[in-house]
């Protein structure tokens, strides 16, 4: 008997007490947050909630497919893609010049010395902070602000995507270019080339595949973002989906979700084709 107890003591998990402490600490921290957030999962099992969920799911299994709804679906899907594409295009119009400014590899003043002039440093830091401000505010928040300023409609969604994605693209583009081989761009700058030419003929060919892949990914994110912004009145398919959800029309919601999945899948395939051709 004593040998059995010693054997059990030897093989006892040495981290057992620590794991129990972590679990208890997590519960102690989690419980107040659940109370403050008014998290009540038992509401899901309320009789009225179960009946509403059952009706919604029953409709959800058969997507809506009548002619009038499909016409609306095609029209709003096109509007959603247009909002995302227009917003990303405006974002690129701001992000590309910002990339030229903040990219330290394309600094002419740092050639030979490795140290930029004070004015160049100030300009770079100013643009960097502008990019931080733009991307710090989610596109949904921009959309809420713009809807209050310019009213309901796609314009608010386009501008919201443009503002947030300009900051994101400018930052990531600069980081991608700075992590690539700088030999070609340095040679061009040392021989009197301008910053734009050094970017196009020196840095860009090295990083074109990664830049294009990230741009298409952001376009895919913009499509999803334009759908979400539709819930706050920024137009597109999201606004229609909000109306269907409020009416508990599961068939229409199901059809719209299928369209969302198809759009993301097409964007993914488009990205693969571009990467293959550029690679």
Lowest mean pLDDT among 44-53, 60-69, 213-222, 267-276: 44-53
| Torsion over CA: 57, 58, 62, 65 (sign) | negative
Over 70: is that where the pLDDT of 209 sits? yes
Is residue 107 in a domain?
A: yes
Give pLDDT tens digits for 21-42: 888 888 888 777 777 777 777 7
pLDDT of residue 92: 93
Structure tokens at 163: 């503002």
pLDDT of residue 94: 92
* Domain range for 240: 61-278
Model confidence at 274, in pLDDT bands (50, 70, 90)?
confident
Q: Do the beta carbons of residue 176 and residue 210 sit within 8 Å?
A: yes
pTM exceeds 0.75, yes or no: no
Is residue 15 in a domain?
A: no
Model confidence at 261, in pLDDT bands (50, 70, 90)?
confident
> Phi and psi at residue 247, in whole multiples of 5°?
-85, 5
Q: What is the mean pLDDT of the chain?
A: 78
Mean pLDDT, range 172-196, rounded to an integer: 72
Counting every residue written for the chain, the total comes to 279
Give pLDDT tens digits for 73-85: 888 888 888 888 9
The domain tally of the chain equals: 1
CATH number, domain of 128, equals 1.10.3720.10
Is residue 45 in a domain?
A: no
**CA–CA dist 58, 82 (Å, integer):** 33
């Amino acid at each position: 008997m004593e040998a059995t107890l010693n054997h059990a003591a030897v093989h006892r998990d040495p981290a057992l007490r620590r794991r129990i402490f972590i679990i208890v600490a997590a519960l102690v921290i989690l419980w107040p947050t659940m109370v403050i957030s008014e998290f009540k999962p038992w509401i899901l099992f309320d009789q009225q909630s179960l009946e509403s969920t059952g009706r919604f799911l029953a409709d959800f299994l058969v997507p809506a497919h009548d002619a009038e709804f499909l016409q609306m679906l095609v029209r709003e899907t096109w509007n959603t893609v247009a909002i995302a594409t227009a917003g990303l295009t405006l974002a690129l119009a701001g992000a590309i010049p910002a990339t030229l400014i903040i990219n330290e590899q394309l600094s002419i003043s740092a050639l030979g010395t490795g140290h930029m002039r004070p004015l160049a440093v100030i300009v770079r830091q100013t643009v960097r902070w502008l990019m931080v401000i733009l991307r710090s505010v989610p596109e949904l928040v921009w959309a809420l602000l713009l809807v209050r300023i310019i009213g309901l409609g796609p314009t608010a969604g386009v501008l919201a995507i443009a503002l947030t994605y300009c900051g994101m693209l400018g930052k990531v583009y600069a980081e991608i270019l700075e992590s690539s081989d700088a030999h070609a761009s340095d040679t061009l700058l040392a021989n009197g080339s301008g910053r734009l030419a050094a970017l196009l003929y020196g840095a860009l060919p090295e990083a074109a595949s990664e830049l294009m892949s990230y741009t298409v990914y952001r376009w895919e994110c913009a499509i999803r973002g334009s759908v979400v912004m539709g819930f706050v009145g920024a137009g597109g398919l999201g606004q229609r989906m909000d109306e269907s959800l409020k009416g508990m029309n599961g068939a229409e919601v199901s059809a719209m979700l299928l369209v969302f999945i198809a759009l993301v899948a097409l964007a993914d395939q488009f990205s693969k084709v571009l990467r293959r051709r550029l690679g």
